[in-house]
C-alpha cells in the first residue's frame, strides 16, 4: 500500500527539493543576467561564418527556463541556417520550441527565468567585412551584450509577431509607432521625413488609404490591416532577416492568403530572407524553400520543400502530413492524429523523445538520442531507422 502511494505522488517534489531548485535557479539567473550586462570588446562577440551565403547560422542552441519545479530545456541543440534571399520554414506542433528559437535569435526570451545558455547564433553583418584569412566575419548573438543588440534588433533583424493587437501599443497612433522605428535607427531624421517614410511603408504593404491609417489607433483597424502595419514596421529598418512567427494564425483564410502573398512579393522585392514559423504545412508548401521540423525542443528533420513533402523520413514528419485534411479525403473517416502525448520538458532523459508515440520504435530507441544522419546533400534526419542507409 505504501509503495503504491509513493508511486502515485512521484511527480510531486518535497519542500527541501523545492528550496534546492529555487537556490539553483537564482544562481543561474544572476549569472546569465550579469553576462548580458557585461561590457565586452567587439572581438569577444565576433566570429566567422561557416558559409558566407547564409544570413544567419544557428548551431547547438540551448535555451532554458528556470521554473520552480525544475529546468525546462525549451531549445536543445538546435542547428540550422537561413540562406540569403530564401524562405526557411520552421514547423512543429505547439510547444516544440519554434517561437523560443526565434526569440533567442532576437534576444527577447523572457528574462530572468528564460536564458540562452549555450550554442552560437552567427549573424552575417556586412559592415564587418573579412578577416586576414578571407573568412566572412559575423556577430555571435549569444555572446553579444544586450546594449549592442539594440543596433541590430529592429533594423537588421526584425520580427512579425503572432497577434498584432498585442504587439501594437493601444494608446499611440499607427504613425507614432512607425515613426519611432525611423527615429531609433536614423537619429538625424526630421519629423517630416519620418512621416513621409512611414506613409511610403504603409503604401508598400498594400494599405489603400495610408494617410488615414497613419492617424488611426490600432483598435480602429481590422486584423488584416493591423498585420499589414506590423509588416510595414518590420520593413521600415530595411532588414536582412524577417522572422515571421505564425503571422496568419489570427486571420481568416482570405486575409491569410493576401498576407502570405504580400510577404512573398516583398521578400523578392527587398532581397531579404524570411524565417517563417508555423504549424500549417500548407503554408510551408506554398512559401518556403527549405524546411526544419522540430519536436520537443530538437530539430528532428530538415531539407528542401521537395525532400520533406515528397520523401518524409522521420515518423513524426509522416504523422504531421497524414494529419493534414485533403480535398479528396473521405468525410466519414476521422482525421489521423499522432497517438500519445509530448513528454514532460523538465529534465528530459537523453533518448529519443518520440519513441513512446512511434509505431516504428525499436530497442535501440531507448538508448542515446539519435545523432543527425545525412541522407542526401540537402536532407538530414535524426532517427535510428536510417542509420544503416
d(CA 201, CA 182) in angstroms, rounded, equals 11
Question: What does pTM read for this prediction?
Answer: 0.89
Each residue's pLDDT tens digit, 41-74: 999 999 999 999 999 999 999 999 999 888 999 9
Mean pLDDT of 87-114: 93
d(CA 168, CA 219) in angstroms, rounded, equals 10
196: number of Cβ within 10 Å? 13
d(CA 369, CA 127) in angstroms, rounded, equals 40
DSSP 3-state of 120: strand
- pLDDT value of residue 2: 47
Q: Which strand (E) or helix (H) includes residue 18?
A: helix 15-37
Confidence class for position 6, pLDDT limits 50, 70, 90: very low
Each residue's pLDDT tens digit, 279-295: 888 889 889 999 999 99
Is a pLDDT exceeding 80 seen at residue 388? Answer: no
- pLDDT value of residue 383: 93
d(CA 234, CA 229) in angstroms, rounded, equals 9
CATH superfamily of 36-156+239-386: P-loop containing nucleotide triphosphate hydrolases (3.40.50.300)
292: number of Cβ within 10 Å? 27
Confidence class for position 331, pLDDT limits 50, 70, 90: low
Q: How far is CA 104 from CA 78, 101, 134, 140, in A?
A: 11, 5, 29, 12
Is a pLDDT exceeding 50 seen at residue 4? Answer: no
Please tell me which residue, 157 or 237, carries the higher pLDDT value.
157
For the chain, how many residues are written? 389
d(CA 305, CA 143) in angstroms, rounded, equals 32
Confidence class for position 367, pLDDT limits 50, 70, 90: confident
d(CA 243, CA 230) in angstroms, rounded, equals 12
Q: Domain spans of the chain?
A: 36-156+239-386, 157-238
Q: Do domains 36-156+239-386 and 157-238 have the same CATH topology?
A: yes
The strand pairing partners of 73, in sequence order, are 64
34: number of Cβ within 10 Å? 9
Phi, psi of 192 (to 5 degrees): -65, -45
- pLDDT value of residue 257: 85
Confidence class for position 343, pLDDT limits 50, 70, 90: confident
Class of domain 157-238: alpha beta
d(CA 230, CA 184) in angstroms, rounded, equals 17
Of all residues in the chain, the percent with pLDDT exceeding 70 is 95
Mean pLDDT of 100-122: 94
- Sign for the pseudo-dihedral over CA of 200, 155, 279, 107: negative
SS (H, E, C) 187-203: CCCCHHHHHHHHHHHHH
- pLDDT value of residue 108: 94
Is a pLDDT exceeding 90 seen at residue 103? Answer: yes
Is a pLDDT exceeding 70 seen at residue 8? Answer: no
Mean pLDDT of 84-99: 92
- pLDDT value of residue 326: 72
Lowest average pLDDT, out of 123-132, 137-146, 222-231, 252-261, goes to 252-261
Q: How far is CA 267 from CA 2, 200, 270, in A?
A: 63, 17, 5
- pLDDT value of residue 242: 94
d(CA 327, CA 330) in angstroms, rounded, equals 9
Is a pLDDT exceeding 90 seen at residue 137? Answer: yes
Torsion of CA 171, 175, 177, 182, to 10 degrees: -160
- pLDDT value of residue 335: 79
Average pLDDT, the chain: 89
Each residue's pLDDT tens digit, 293-318: 999 999 999 999 999 999 999 999 99
- Sign for the pseudo-dihedral over CA of 99, 100, 103, 109: positive
- pLDDT value of residue 11: 62
- pLDDT value of residue 13: 81
- pLDDT value of residue 330: 67
DSSP 3-state of 373: strand
Is a pLDDT exceeding 80 seen at residue 329? Answer: no
Amino acid at each position: 500500500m505504501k509503495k503504491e502511494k509513493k508511486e502515485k505522488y512521484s511527480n510531486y517534489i518535497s519542500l527541501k527539493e523545492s528550496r534546492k531548485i529555487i537556490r539553483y535557479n537564482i544562481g543561474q539567473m544572476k549569472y546569465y543576467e550579469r553576462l548580458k550586462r557585461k561590457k565586452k570588446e567587439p572581438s569577444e562577440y565576433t566570429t566567422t561564418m561557416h558559409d558566407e551565403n547564409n544570413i544567419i547560422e544557428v548551431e547547438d542552441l540551448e535555451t532554458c527556463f528556470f521554473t520552480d519545479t525544475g529546468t525546462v530545456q525549451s531549445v536543445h541543440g538546435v542547428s540550422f541556417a537561413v540562406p540569403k534571399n530564401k524562405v526557411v520554414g520552421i514547423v512543429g506542433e505547439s510547444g516544440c520550441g519554434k517561437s523560443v528559437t526565434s526569440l533567442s535569435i532576437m534576444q527577447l526570451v523572457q528574462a530572468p527565468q528564460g536564458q540562452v545558455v549555450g550554442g552560437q547564433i552567427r549573424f552575417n553583418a556586412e559592415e564587418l567585412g573579412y578577416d586576414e584569412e578571407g573568412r566572412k566575419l559575423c556577430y555571435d548573438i549569444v555572446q553579444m551584450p544586450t546594449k549592442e543588440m539594440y543596433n541590430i534588433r529592429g533594423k537588421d533583424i526584425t520580427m512579425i509577431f503572432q497577434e498584432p493587437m498585442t504587439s501594437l501599443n493601444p494608446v499611440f497612433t499607427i504613425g507614432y509607432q512607425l515613426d519611432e522605428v525611423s527615429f531609433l535607427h536614423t537619429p538625424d531624421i526630421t519629423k517630416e521625413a519620418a512621416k513621409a517614410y512611414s506613409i511610403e511603408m504603409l503604401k508598400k504593404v498594400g494599405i489603400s488609404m495610408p494617410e488615414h491609417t497613419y492617424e488611426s489607433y490600432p483598435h480602429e483597424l481590422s486584423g488584416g490591416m493591423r498585420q499589414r502595419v506590423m509588416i510595414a514596421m518590420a520593413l521600415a529598418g530595411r532588414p536582412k532577416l524577417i522572422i515571421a512567427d505564425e503571422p496568419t494564425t489570427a486571420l481568416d483564410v482570405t486575409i491569410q492568403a493576401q498576407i502570405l502573398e504580400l510577404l512573398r512579393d516583398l521578400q523578392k522585392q527587398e532581397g531579404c530572407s524570411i524565417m517563417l514559423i508555423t504549424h500549417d504545412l500548407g503554408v510551408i508548401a506554398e512559401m518556403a524553400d527549405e524546411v526544419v521540423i522540430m519536436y520537443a525542443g530538437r530539430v528532428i528533420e530538415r531539407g528542401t520543400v521537395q525532400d520533406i513533402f515528397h520523401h518524409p523520413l522521420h515518423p513524426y514528419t509522416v504523422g504531421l502530413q497524414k494529419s493534414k485534411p485533403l480535398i479528396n479525403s473521405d468525410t466519414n473517416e476521422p482525421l489521423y492524429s499522432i497517438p500519445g502525448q509530448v513528454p514532460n520538458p523538465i529534465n528530459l532523459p537523453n533518448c529519443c523523445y518520440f519513441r513512446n508515440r512511434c509505431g516504428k520504435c525499436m530497442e535501440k530507441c531507448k538508448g542515446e538520442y539519435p545523432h543527425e544522419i545525412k541522407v542526401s546533400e540537402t536532407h538530414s534526419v535524426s532517427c535510428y531507422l536510417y542509420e544503416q542507409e
